[in-house]
Chain A
Amino acid sequence: DAGITQSPRYKITETGRQVTLMCHQTWSHSYMFWYRQDLGHGLRLIYYSAAADITDKGEVPDGYVVSRSKTENFPLTLESATRSQTSVYFCASSEGPALTGELFFGEGSRLTVL
Chain B
Amino acid sequence: QKEVEQNSGPLSVPEGAIASLNCTYSDRGSQSFFWYRQYSGKSPELIMSIYSNGDKEDGRFTAQLNKASQYVSLLIRDSQPSDSATYLCAVTPIKAAGNKLTFGGGTRVLVKP
Contacts and interface: CB of A to CB of B under 8 A. Distances in A.
Contacts of A97: 92, 97-99
Q: Is the interface of B mostly helix, strand, loop or mixed?
A: loop
B43 A107 contact: yes
B46 A98 contact: no
Contact of B32 (A33, A44, A99): A99
Nearest to B100: A45
A83 B42 CA distance: 23
Contact of A105 (B45, B92, B96, B105): B45
Which of A35, A42, A50, A100 has the most CB atoms of chain B within a 10 A radius of its CB?
Answer: A42
B104 A42 contact: yes
B80 interface: no
Contacts of B102: 45, 59
Interface string B18-44: 000000000000011010000000111
Contacts, number: 59
A99 B46 CA distance: 13
A44 B100 CA distance: 10
Interface residues of B, number: 22
A102 interface: yes
B98 to A, nearest CB: 4
B49 interface: yes
A100 B103 CA distance: 15
B88 to A, nearest CB: 7
Interface in B32-84: 32, 34, 42-46, 49
Contact of A42 (B32, B88, B96): B88
Q: Sorted from nearest, which 3 A-B pairs have the closest CB atoms?
A: A99-B92, A105-B43, A99-B98
